[in-house]
Amino acid sequence: MEDQRLLDFALQLFTNISKAQCLLISSIHELESQAIEALMQDLAFPIYTFGPTIPYLNLETLTTFSANESDPHHYFNWLNSQAPSSVLYVSFGSFHHVSQAQMDEVADGLRASGVRFLWVARGEAERLQERCGEAGRVVPWCEQLKVLCHPSVGGFWTHCGWNSTMECIFSGVPMICFPIMMDQTTIRKHVIEDWKIGVDAKEGLAFGEILMSGEIAKLVKEFMDLESHERKEMARRVGEFRETVRQAVSVGGSSVASLACLLNDIVSFN
């Protein structure tokens, strides 16, 4: 029922686009150039891309990885003790529900994989930490972009929310895609088919079916194998996308230029 309400709301928004004076898109032109240019041809008003809308402005803090008042669980100290690109970061977002049965399978699969991991599990962190054992850390919250930029983090198991995806690309980290609802399925398609910087955790999984721990362990172990050809290719490609995104938010980049055009147009409207 909740999915249907969200779909109805999204469709209503799309029907109102023709009444707008401009369209703001929190994306990077280079990442979605085909779709953006198609919209430019169909719409009679300006389109501005100003993404990514993630906390990248404090870039200097992203290279300081030490425990502080925002890190009561000392996950940065733990990350600092891990080998480069050896840790899988896991987060399924802040708002969407994953069943307890699925979370338990994830915990069992991560433990069985032998891969080190940092998992943000909100209110279930303490229970899942007990289930996972000592293979990784389970915390209720973390500074996600800073964690993704940490040199020990080599992958992100994500629900494919747009901001999480942008943070992952900004950090240059390959993804395991585990969409839950709405646009996350489309974003998975971008990550896996268009950009080729991730793998699909739900491939062959029927709607409502749980991904079992045995498959999770196999998937995670293969994904985090730094010597595999597939992994090396994903890492290479996401590294290229990382540079594209960072150039877009640099002086003269597409997002900076688009935002400047928007501000000039706002002034001219007055």
When mean pLDDT is compared across 28-32, 35-39, 59-63, the lowest value belongs to 59-63
Residue 258 lies in a domain: no
- Cα separation, 224 vs 85, in Å, equals 8
Residue 31 lies in a domain: yes
pLDDT value for 63: 58
Query: Span 159-178, mean pLDDT?
Result: 96
Residue 20 has pLDDT above 90, yes or no: no
At 3, the pLDDT band (50, 70, 90 cuts) reads low
* Co-location of 42 and 121 in the same domain: no
- Cα separation, 124 vs 97, in Å, equals 12
Q: What total of structural domains would you count in the chain?
A: 2
Query: Span 49-75, mean pLDDT?
Result: 73
Instruction: Specify whether the CB–CB gap between 213 and 108 falls below 8 A.
Output: yes
The structure tokens 């987060």 sit at 91
- Cα separation, 183 vs 27, in Å, equals 14
* Co-location of 37 and 169 in the same domain: no
Query: Span 55-81, mean pLDDT?
Result: 73
Residue 40 lies in a domain: yes
For the record, the structure tokens of 37 come out as 């240019």
pLDDT value for 269: 67
* Co-location of 24 and 152 in the same domain: no
* Co-location of 136 and 43 in the same domain: no
Residue 70 lies in a domain: no
pLDDT value for 79: 96
* Co-location of 36 and 80 in the same domain: no
Instruction: Specify whether the CB–CB gap between 56 and 41 falls below 8 A.
Output: no
Query: Span 191-218, mean pLDDT?
Result: 95
For 83, the domain range is 59-63+75-246
- Phi/psi at 119 (5° precision): -120, 125
pLDDT value for 12: 79
pLDDT value for 65: 65
pLDDT value for 197: 98
* Co-location of 19 and 119 in the same domain: no
pLDDT value for 163: 94
User: Which residues lie below 8 Å from residue 38, measured CB to CB, with a gap of 6+?
Assistant: none
Q: How far apart are the first and last CA of the chain?
A: 43
When mean pLDDT is compared across 65-79, 153-167, 214-228, 237-251, the lowest value belongs to 65-79
- Cα separation, 219 vs 234, in Å, equals 15
Percent of the chain whose predicted confidence (pLDDT) is above 70:
92
* Co-location of 91 and 217 in the same domain: yes
